[in-house]
Amino acid sequence: MGVILATSRSFSDGDLDLVARAEAAGHEIVRGPAHHDLAELAPLLATAAGWVAGTGPVTDEHLAAAPDLRIVARYGVGTEAVDIAAAERRGILVTNTPGANADAVADHAVGLMLAALRFIPDGDRRVRSGDWSVRRGRELGAATVGIVGFGRIGQGVARRLSGFGCRVLAADPFLPAERITDLGATPVDLDELFRTADLVTLHAPGGQTLVDAARLDGIPRGTIIVNTARPDLVDEDALATALRDGRLGAYAADTLAGDTAASASPLLAPDLAERVTVTPHLGAQTTQAVDNMGSLSLDDVLSVLAGAAPAHPVSPRS
């Protein structure tokens, strides 16, 4: 029997009993903290043969504490928190779950667009305080929407927006312009997208700042930005300044810098509450996405522990 460490909070929390699936294959699931604190994880890593890893860091120090580890299966798409080079040096495979939560996140992105355009969270707060005054919003179908990053999630957003009748722009340096056109969007470069779009939705990988003070200087007044990707894509101080001076009409996001420890974010200032909507990193938290991510990650772990190749290996960083 092998030990499989699971540190994703929602692993096997959907309709599928993935713990039973692992046990049927002769393995034991052991739970660990999602923040991946090394002091807490070290005793669990010491016996782990497989690791279904959440969003916390997976460093060389973590891997050194796991002499029997053969695979780190990232529960989700992003692998920036995983030291892939260190894993490769140690002969540990790294996988992820591409596309598993794409529909869930695309749904959530459109929901945040509507929330920002129609002042839905603010309207709820006003009614609960006895204020039934009306703020006039804008229709999504009348907007030019710019999608930054046109992978699975960005394409899912574009499909959903087609039903609203939006004009859709897309910027993605890795996709040919003809492919973007075939998928229902107009290809543009990043600067043109920010100069043109009424609403910008971010679906790019982390590790880069795409929205900073200089870029915000060139946006149309009242632009709305939605971020269901990574908090480091934006400069939160610059966003707060642009919200206060009216250049930015609203910001809606599924996470902030620091994630669950983001209480000090400038975007949570009381004077910005009418124009900022933040959800607690729940874009991928649907029953279907949880089942998809759990199944793909566990299947790769079981394959490797059985001596087979995983279905979703992650290429080493260049």
Asked if residues 11 and 288 have their Cβ atoms less than 8 Å apart, the reply is: no
Where residue 80 falls among pLDDT bands split at 50, 70, 90? confident
Single pTM value for the model: 0.86
pLDDT at res. 222: 97
pLDDT at res. 78: 81
Amino acid at 21: R
For residues 141-155, average pLDDT = 97
pLDDT at res. 77: 84
Asked if residues 243 and 251 have their Cβ atoms less than 8 Å apart, the reply is: yes
For residues 253-274, average pLDDT = 87
Asked if residues 294 and 16 have their Cβ atoms less than 8 Å apart, the reply is: yes
Judged by DSSP in three states, 79 sits in coil
Reported as a single tens digit per residue, the pLDDT across 65-77 is: 999 999 999 998 8
Where residue 318 falls among pLDDT bands split at 50, 70, 90? very low
pLDDT at res. 262: 60
Query: Measured in whole angstroms, how far is the alpha carbon of residue 83 from the centre of its chain?
Result: 19
Task: Give helix 102-117 / helix 120-128 axis angle, nearest 10°.
Answer: 60
Say whether pLDDT at 206 is over 90: no
Q: Where are the alpha helices (DSSP H) in the chain?
A: 18-24, 38-45, 60-64, 84-89, 102-117, 120-128, 152-162, 177-182, 190-196, 213-216, 236-245, 287-305
Say whether pLDDT at 153 is over 50: yes
DSSP string for 183-231? TT-EE--HHHHHHH-SEEEE---SSS--B-HHHHTTSPTTEEEEE-S-G
Share of the chain above pLDDT 90, in %: 91
